A = this chain, B = another copy of it.
Amino acid sequence: MSDQPTDVSPLSLNRLSIYLRCLTQLRDQGIARVSSKQLAKQFQLSAPLIRKDLTQFGEFGIRGTGYEVEALITRLRTILGLDREQRIVVVGMGRLGGALARYLELNRGAFRIVAAFDSDRRKVGSKVGAFKIHHVSEVPQVIPNTGAKIAVLTVPPRSAQRTCDALTEAGIRAVLNFAPVQLQVNPEIRARSVDVRIHLEELAFFVQS
């Protein structure tokens, strides 16, 4: 589709998101140009790393001057696909799912929730913001119509893998999983897990010393 490199390391990709956020802040402060050294100082990173991350996608710095904030923001948004609307669905409207949905509605950037799902029949049918809650069994019918390619998965661990299979079957290409399980997915599907317990256990280890 575009001539972007397709083999970008996840670490580098996550940093691009961080750069984008930081640049947006700088723009709001009225700053028009910034050097990699200045950026590096703001969040603990190294200047050459920032330059390497950026040059994967082309040369958009000006030697001797730095980067134009506005232009770089635009470029990063395009790279990340945030210039297009990204339709997402939330599966599992419990407390966490509800909180995430609310957050995404408030901070609606490129991401737009187009549907939600839950297994609790009492929740089904109600509207939250601009989208409706469907029963999970309707995933195969509803998802293809929405055109969503990204799903946020906040169901109980027991049903996570089953639900994930249904989602990919229905055309979902990427899953952000909050259930504490290791999802098994085909290589063409991208799954990212956010696991609070794993993070807490990591912190518990460090607190010991």
Residues of chain A whose beta carbon lies under 8 Å from any beta carbon of chain B: 1-2, 4, 6, 8, 10, 13-14, 16-18, 20-22, 42-44, 79-82, 86, 88, 94-96, 98-100, 102-104, 107, 109-111, 149-150, 152, 173-176, 180, 182, 184, 190, 192, 194-209
* Cα-based distance from A119 to B79 in the complex (angstroms): 38
* Cα-based distance from A194 to B209 in the complex (angstroms): 24
B202-A13 in contact (CB<8A): yes
Q: Which of B17, B150, B204 is close to A82, meaning CB atoms less than 8 Å apart? A: B204
B204-A110 in contact (CB<8A): yes
Kindly name the residue among A1, A21, A173 whose own CB sees the greatest number of chain B CB atoms within 10 A.
A21
Chain B residues positioned under 8 Å from A194 (CB to CB):
194, 196, 199
A95-B102 in contact (CB<8A): yes
A150-B204 in contact (CB<8A): yes
A198-B95 in contact (CB<8A): no
A43-B13 in contact (CB<8A): no
